[in-house]
Amino acid sequence: MLTKSSTELIRQQNRALVLEALRRQSGQAHTDLALATGLASATVSAITHGLENERVIERSEAPPAGGRGRPRILFRQRRAAAFAAFVRISSDMFQYSMVDYSGTLIDRIEEKRDETGQSVEAFADDIRAALQRLTDRTGVSRDDLKAISVSSKGLVADDNSSLLWSPVLGSQQVDMRKMLEPDWDAKITLSHESLLVASALHTAMSQQASHPIPRLAALSLGHSIGLGVVHAETSETPLARAPGFGHMIHTHGGALCRCGSLGCIEAYAGFYAILRTAFEVPPNTIPASFVPFSEVEKIAVLARRGDRMAEFAFRQAGTALGNGLARLISLHGKMPVVFTGPGIRFLDLIRPGIDLGLSASLGVRIEGPPEISVSADEERLVFEGHLNHTMAAIDRDVIAAKIAGQGGAE
Query: What band does 4 get if pLDDT is binned at 50, 70 and 90?
Result: low
CB 323 within 8 A of CB 360: yes
- Residue 319 φ then ψ, to 5°: -60, -45
**Predicted local confidence at residue 62, as pLDDT:** 81
- Give start and end residues of each alpha helix (H) in 259-370: 266-269, 271-278, 293-304, 308-332, 347-359, 362-367
**Predicted local confidence at residue 404, as pLDDT:** 47
Q: Answer yes or no: is pLDDT of 409 > 60.
A: no
Q: Fold for 81-185, please state it.
A: Nucleotidyltransferase; domain 5 (3.30.420)
Q: Answer yes or no: is pLDDT of 93 > 50.
A: yes
Q: Range with the lowest mean pLDDT among 2-6, 30-34, 192-196, 281-285?
A: 2-6
Query: Residue 14 is inside which H or E element, if any?
Result: helix 4-24
For the stretch 18-63, pLDDT in tens is: 999 999 998 999 999 999 999 999 999 999 999 999 999 999 988 7
For the stretch 106-165, pLDDT in tens is: 999 999 876 666 789 999 999 999 999 999 999 999 899 999 999 999 999 999 999 999
DSSP 8-class letter at 81: G
| CATH number of the 207-376 domain | 3.30.420.40
For the stretch 8-19, pLDDT in tens is: 889 999 999 999
> Strands 174-175 and 162-165: what pairing?
antiparallel
- Residue 230 φ then ψ, to 5°: -120, 130
Query: Residue 130 is inside which H or E element, if any?
Result: helix 120-138
Query: What band does 211 get if pLDDT is binned at 50, 70 and 90?
Result: confident
Mean pLDDT of 314-328: 97
CB 267 within 8 A of CB 277: no
* Neighbour order of strands in the sheet with 72-77: 28-29, 72-77, 57-62
Helix (H, G, I), strand (E, B) or coil at 309: helix
Q: Answer yes or no: is pLDDT of 408 > 50.
A: no
DSSP 8-class letter at 360: T
In the chain, what percentage of residues exceed pLDDT 90?
81
Indicate if 207-376 has the same CATH topology as 81-185: yes
Provide the residue ranges of all domains of the chain, joining segments of one domain with +: 4-77, 81-185, 207-376
Tell which CATH architecture fits domain 4-77.
Orthogonal Bundle (1.10)
